[in-house]
Structure formats: structure tokens, C-alpha cells
Amino acid sequence: MKKDIGKRKCCKSNAGHRESSDNFRNMVFVSSQFLEEISEAQSLWYETPEEIESKIQWGKEKVRLLNWVKNQMERKLSIKERKYIEHYYLQGETLEAISKKFHSHPATIHRAIRRGIKKLIQLTKNENLRFHLVRMKRSKKSIRKSK
């Protein structure tokens, strides 16, 4: 159980919501002197020159790989596979939303997406490309708060 430190005033306004100290419940106050004493190397955002260089190199490699994927999608995938992958992964739409757009069953769309991804994976093996092992994620647009 959480203990409150100090007095907390909880006022109800005409709108019926809490005010004053509730807004500061999860805040930690520190002096500016404390923040000035923290060295740059200890800060949360500090990166070594090697880390910065490796991230820049990965960014360049990622651009190259994404261009490759885009070209291969245009050349090797069917129109439906390409459209479904673009809507699902790049635009962040759900299978249900895509199915309504294209008048198809969500399972059919899911199979087409998987088939297209398998084709792309096979093409990477043929060309001996090395992708970082990351799980494909949908765009942030598709992530919604569940209530």
C-alpha cells in the first residue's frame, strides 16, 4: 500500500474533477544544483562516439535494406500481397479494416500477407542479405490504448 507524504488537498471543482496536488502525485522535485552536478557521461541521453557512429551506420544500412524490400515488393509480389502488406505494416490498419476495403475475409488477407513475407524472406536467402533479427512491427499509428 502506498503512503502519501505530507498533506494532500483534494478540491472538487464545479466540473467534478480533482485538482491541485493530484497533478503532482508522480512527480519528483530536484534542485537545479543537483542536476548541474551530474556529469554529461552520467546523463540518461549520453552516447559514446562509437554508439553514435554505429547508429548512423545502421541508419544507412536500414535505408538500403528498405529500398531493397520496396523494389522486391514491386517486382516479385502480387498486387494483392503488396497492397495488403502496405496497409497492414506501413499504414497500421487492422485485418478487419483491410478486409472491408478490399471486400475479402480477414483470414484471406492474413494468408496473403504471410505468403508475401515468405517470398521476401526467400529472396533475402537467394541474395545473401543480412537483416537484423527483429520482429516485424506494425506502425505506431495502429497501436491503440485498450480500455
pLDDT of residue 134: 52
Q: Whole-model pTM? A: 0.53
pLDDT of residue 30: 79
**Could you say which residues of the chain have pLDDT below 70?**
1-24, 128-147
* Spatial CB neighbours of 84, under 8 Å, sequence gap ≥ 6: 98, 102, 109, 112, 113, 116
Helix (H) or strand (E) holding 51, with range, is helix 49-76
Q: Are 105 and 99 in contact (CB under 8 A)?
A: yes
Q: Are 106 and 95 in contact (CB under 8 A)?
A: yes
Cα 71 to Cα 124: distance, rounded to the nearest angstrom: 12
pLDDT of residue 23: 66
pLDDT of residue 126: 76
Number of Cα atoms under 13 Å in the Cβ half of residue 41: 2
Question: Shortest CA distance to 55 belongs to which of 129, 132, 127, 130?
Answer: 132
Question: How many helices (DSSP H) and strands (DSSP E) are in the chain?
Answer: 5, 0
pLDDT of residue 48: 86
pLDDT of residue 71: 92
pLDDT tens per residue, range 61-101: 889 888 988 999 999 999 999 999 999 998 999 999 999 99
